[in-house]
Amino acid sequence: MSGLLDRRFVVVTGKGGVGRSTAAVTLALAAGKAGKRTCVVELYGNRRIAQWFGLGDRSYKACSIAPNVDTMSLTAMDAMDDFGQRKLKLDALVRMVLNSRVTHAFVDAIPGLHDLVQLGKLENMLLEPLPGDAHYDLVIVDAPATGHGLTLLAAPQAMSELTKIGPFHELASIIARLLDDPKKSAVVLVTLPEELPVNEGIELALGLGDNQKLLHSVIMNQARPPSLPPVPAWDHIHALLSTAPDPDLRELLRVAEPFWRRQLSQEQALHRLKTLAELLNRQIPIAQLPKVEHGELSPDDLHILAEQLLPQVTT
Ligand SMILES: Nc1ncnc2c1ncn2[C@@H]1O[C@H](COP(=O)(O)OP(=O)(O)OP(=O)(O)O)[C@@H](O)[C@H]1O
Ligand SMILES: [Mg+2]
């Protein structure tokens, strides 16, 4: 996965619940440890990462969660307000009107506009920070679940088709330029070590269309280190133990069996994931993020995961 942290803009995507937020924040902490000034951003007002770090009520401001690492929870209306101020040079009163319910309905009605203005805010943070703004080397986006993850990246194209002139067209072109350059932007796909999530992940990757070129790597979340011998050694052990006259040995086999099935399923998932590289005809590195075996993840767990991810994303 070398080079990932040298990108400016990384979109972490995957199906719902696979661990996108975990992977996004872990990647951000790893980047921070590597000396990159990083902001990990949740869209649509999501606050999973903010909650992990005990941040209070939602605010549009970036908050520090570790040395070099900030987090931010963005909404389309926040981004719209920012756009009104920066690009349209609207004064506070007009922006207040824009923030009304009528405008919300209007913004909702235009496909892709929510995505576009949020992407626009991120592009500004990276490439056009105002005096007094933080300067980031890297912005990592915790993309919404699949359907949305795809529309997010397709937003500039959708807007270019809707409007050929004006500020939104200009915004779409600016973002398209950022997304068009795999040296600046990357997509990281998160999946789990099981058949269905891996198949869904591959489907998502293939559905990226023009943005497929941005797919940089995969994070297999909740991976477990192999603890039992691989096939065929296991087949041999299984044959021996299942016919053993001693009931204690057969009981041992019964206890070990589910662990072995899980390990086999992970090996098969990894094998299947590797076919993605063949389908896309280029290397797609796979990093493994271990499963933390106790309860809810804490900031300490996330830092430990980041230490484990760091060598995988830098070599
Ligand atoms: N490596 C891991 N080890 C242990 N638990 C994990 C790990 N990764 C994720 N989890 C747990 O799985 C749950 C889902 O993770 P996360 O919130 O990152 O998923 P998501 O894909 O962002 O979900 P959503 O679709 O709701 O946004 C969380 O409760 C988290 O604590
Ligand atoms: Mg999430």
CATH of the domain at 189: 3.40.50.300
pLDDT class of 147 with cuts at 50, 70, 90:
low
**Which ligand sits closest to the CA of 146?**
1
| Per-residue model confidence (pLDDT) at position 103 | 66
User: For 199-220, what is the mean pLDDT?
Assistant: 93
> Which protein residues touch ligand 1 with a CB less than 6 Å away?
16-22, 48, 145, 221-222, 289, 291-292, 296-297
Q: Which residues surround ligand 2, an ion (CB under 5 A)?
A: 20-21, 48
| Mean pLDDT score across all residues of the chain | 88
pLDDT class of 221 with cuts at 50, 70, 90:
very high
Per DSSP (E only), the strands in the chain are 9-13, 38-42, 63-66, 69-73, 138-142, 185-191, 215-223, 286-290
Q: Which atom of ligand 1 is nearest to the CA of 305?
A: 1
Tell me, yes or no, whether 266 lies in a domain: no
Which residues, 6+ apart, have CB-to-CB distance to 71 below 8 Å? 25, 28, 39, 40, 41, 42, 49, 50, 53, 55, 62, 63, 65
Report the sign of the C-alpha dihedral through residues 192, 198, 204, 206, in that order.
positive
Rounded Cα distance between 187 and 133, Å, is 25
Most confident stretch, 149-163, 227-241, 276-290:
276-290
81 with 123: CB under 8 angstroms? no
Rounded Cα distance between 5 and 20, Å, is 17
Tell me, yes or no, whether 152 lies in a domain: yes
Is residue 108 predicted with pLDDT exceeding 80? no
CA of 72 to the centre of ligand 2 (A): 13
Alpha-carbon separation of residue 112 from 69, 81, 119, 149, 213 (angstroms): 29, 16, 10, 12, 21
Rounded Cα distance between 315 and 74, Å, is 32
Per-residue pLDDT tens digits for 232-282: 778 888 888 888 888 888 888 888 888 888 888 899 999 999 999 999 999
| Per-residue model confidence (pLDDT) at position 297 | 94
| Per-residue model confidence (pLDDT) at position 97 | 63
User: For 117-139, what is the mean pLDDT?
Assistant: 91
Q: Which of 62-66, 144-148, 162-166, 177-181 has the lowest mean pLDDT?
A: 144-148
Tell me, yes or no, whether 251 lies in a domain: no
| Per-residue model confidence (pLDDT) at position 170 | 86
Tell me, yes or no, whether 255 lies in a domain: no
Which of 11, 18, 20, 22 to mutate to test ligand 1, by most ligand atoms within 8 A of the CB atom? 22
Residue 224: is it exposed, middle or buried by C-beta count within 10 angstroms (0-12/13-18/19+)?
A: middle
Bridge-based pairing state of the strands 63-66 and 69-73: antiparallel
Is residue 225 predicted with pLDDT exceeding 90? no
CA of 17 to the centre of ligand 2 (A): 7
**Which ligand sits closest to the CA of 287?**
1
Counting the structural domains of the chain, the total is 1
Per-residue pLDDT tens digits for 67-102: 999 999 998 888 888 887 776 666 666 666 666 666
The residue range of the domain holding 209 is: 4-226+282-314
Rounded Cα distance between 219 and 290, Å, is 10
73 with 58: CB under 8 angstroms? yes
| Per-residue model confidence (pLDDT) at position 58 | 67
CA of 84 to the centre of ligand 2 (A): 28
| Per-residue model confidence (pLDDT) at position 315 | 78
Q: Which atom of ligand 1 is nearest to the CA of 293?
A: 4
Quick one: which H or E segment has residue 147? helix 146-162
Geometric angle at alpha carbon 85, from 129 and 12, rounded to 5°:
50
| Per-residue model confidence (pLDDT) at position 93 | 62
Which position has the higher pLDDT, 57 or 191?
A: 191
Question: Residue whose CA is closest, atom 18 of ligand 1?
Answer: 19
